[in-house]
């Protein structure tokens, strides 16, 4: 798919070369102690490696916890790289019909580009099904009641977010968000109805750097600009995002994935932020594999020999 190719920049190609180099060739055969199962050879084929994304992502920490919690994942490692690197490796594995296990989430276009499935997570150490919440700094309600009201009302569906994300594969996020707002004036007016306009008040939105939040962040930026605000949108790692809101360096965020993916940051800062609840429900994070792989659960994986 053309748009996919566009997304794979130099980083993806580089990471991907490294991944291939790291993988080596895997031999089918005896393990020396008798029978070798399909699961054993899967581990060998993958070099006992899960292909991950950015070190600062919530899902990276959850996956490291997962490697600790499941005894059968003894000897497995997480290869941290970038979202583009993960997608490059996934794309290449699927082209070659090879196995791969990635840290994945939705909404994400990889689920419409490829036939993928989540591995069952009986211990529940990965995110599972969760929400994206809106948080603000303390005092925002008093200082900027108009923005606070809009942020508090902001709620949309996964299909809305996906519409912006998918459009943004071909056009800039700003444009994709503006088009969505133009086409969904009724939804937007539910958030802004009766709210007074302001005259050039500065507000700082803090988001994370993934497409899901680039979509929601851009939409909220434009909605607040139409209301008269000067909006800055700053993408940072999840840990910094929570810290920025807790220390009032930033005013609000529409990006926390809760209760699990960003749960540890939330616990750390919950006394110092205001949680306005979900702006979207129905996200998911977990380990993701191509549907052709003959494995359904994390527990099907075998420890390294
Ligand atoms: N994600 C997408 C992020 C949140 C949004 C799942 C890659 C994370 O793991 O922090």
Please report, for the domain that includes residue 193, its CATH number: 3.10.105.10
Nearest CA to ligand 1 atom 2: 210
Tens of pLDDT, residues 190-237? 999 999 999 999 999 999 999 999 999 999 999 999 999 999 999 999
CA of 61 to the centre of ligand 1 (A): 11
Predicted confidence (pLDDT) at residue 26 exceeds the cutoff of 60: no
Contact 131, 186 (CB under 8 A): no
CA of 170 to the centre of ligand 1 (A): 22
Question: For residue 127, what pLDDT is reported?
Answer: 84
Domain co-membership, 79 together with 153: no
- Residue 9's closest CA among 94, 62, 83, 95? 83
Q: What is the mean pLDDT of residues 47-51?
A: 98
Question: For residue 32, what pLDDT is reported?
Answer: 42
Domain co-membership, 141 together with 223: yes
Mean pLDDT score across all residues of the chain: 90
CA of 99 to the centre of ligand 1 (A): 23
Contact 275, 132 (CB under 8 A): no
- The verdict on residue 34 lying in a domain is yes
- The verdict on residue 140 lying in a domain is yes
Cis peptide before 45 (omega within 30 of 0): no
Domain co-membership, 141 together with 203: yes
Give the residues surrounding ligand 1 with Cβ less than 6 Å away: 53, 57-59, 105, 208, 210, 212, 238, 257, 261, 285
Domain co-membership, 199 together with 275: yes
Number of domains making up the chain:
2
Closest ligand 1 atom to residue 285 Cα is 6
For residue 53, the enclosing domain spans 5-127+285-300
Tens of pLDDT, residues 123-136? 999 988 999 999 99
Test site for ligand 1: of 64, 126, 128, 210, most ligand atoms within 8 A of the Cβ: 210
Question: For residue 75, what pLDDT is reported?
Answer: 97
Domain co-membership, 271 together with 140: yes
Closest ligand 1 atom to residue 257 Cα is 4
Nearest CA to ligand 1 atom 5: 210
Predicted confidence (pLDDT) at residue 6 exceeds the cutoff of 70: no
Contact 102, 111 (CB under 8 A): no
Tens of pLDDT, residues 60-69? 999 999 999 9
CA of 284 to the centre of ligand 1 (A): 9
Predicted confidence (pLDDT) at residue 104 exceeds the cutoff of 50: yes
Q: What is the mean pLDDT of residues 147-156?
A: 98
Question: For residue 35, what pLDDT is reported?
Answer: 58
Domain co-membership, 265 together with 275: yes
Question: For residue 128, what pLDDT is reported?
Answer: 84
Question: For residue 27, what pLDDT is reported?
Answer: 39
Domain co-membership, 103 together with 218: no
Pairing type for strands 128-137 and 257-258 reads antiparallel
Alpha carbon distance 18, 21 (integer Å): 5
Question: For residue 37, what pLDDT is reported?
Answer: 67
Closest ligand 1 atom to residue 127 Cα is 6
Instruction: Output 112 or 138, whichever has higher pLDDT.
Output: 138
């Amino acid at each position: 798919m053309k748009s996919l190719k566009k997304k794979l920049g130099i980083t993806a190609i580089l990471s991907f070369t490294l991944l291939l180099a790291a993988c080596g060739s895997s031999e089918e055969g005896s393990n020396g102690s008798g029978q070798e199962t399909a699961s054993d050879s899967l581990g060998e084929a993958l070099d006992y490696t899960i292909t991950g994304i950015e070190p600062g992502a919530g899902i990276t920490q959850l996956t490291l916890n997962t490697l600790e919690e499941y005894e059968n994942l003894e000897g497995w490692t997480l290869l941290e790289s970038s979202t583009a690197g993960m997608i490059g490796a996934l794309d290449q594995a699927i082209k070659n019909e090879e196995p791969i296990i990635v840290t994945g989430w939705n909404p994400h276009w990889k689920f419409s580009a490829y036939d993928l499935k989540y591995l069952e997570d009986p211990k529940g150490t990965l995110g599972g099904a969760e929400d994206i919440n809106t948080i603000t700094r303390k005092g925002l309600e008093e200082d900027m009641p108009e923005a606070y009201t809009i942020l508090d009302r902001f709620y949309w569906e996964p299909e809305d977010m996906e519409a912006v994300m998918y459009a943004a594969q071909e056009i800039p996020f700003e444009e994709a968000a503006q088009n969505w707002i133009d086409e969904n004036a009724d939804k937007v007016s539910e958030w802004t109805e009766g709210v007074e306009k302001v005259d050039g008040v500065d507000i700082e939105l803090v988001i994370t750097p993934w497409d899901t939040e680039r979509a929601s962040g851009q939409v909220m930026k434009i909605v607040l600009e139409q209301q008269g605000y000067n909006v800055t949108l700053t993408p940072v790692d999840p840990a910094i995002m929570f810290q920025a809101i807790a220390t009032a360096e930033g005013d609000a965020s529409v990006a926390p994935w809760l209760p699990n993916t960003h749960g540890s940051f939330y616990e750390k800062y919950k006394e110092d932020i205001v949680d306005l609840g979900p702006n979207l429900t129905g996200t998911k994070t977990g380990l993701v594999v191509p549907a052709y792989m003959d494995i359904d659960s994390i527990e099907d994986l075998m420890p390294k020999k």
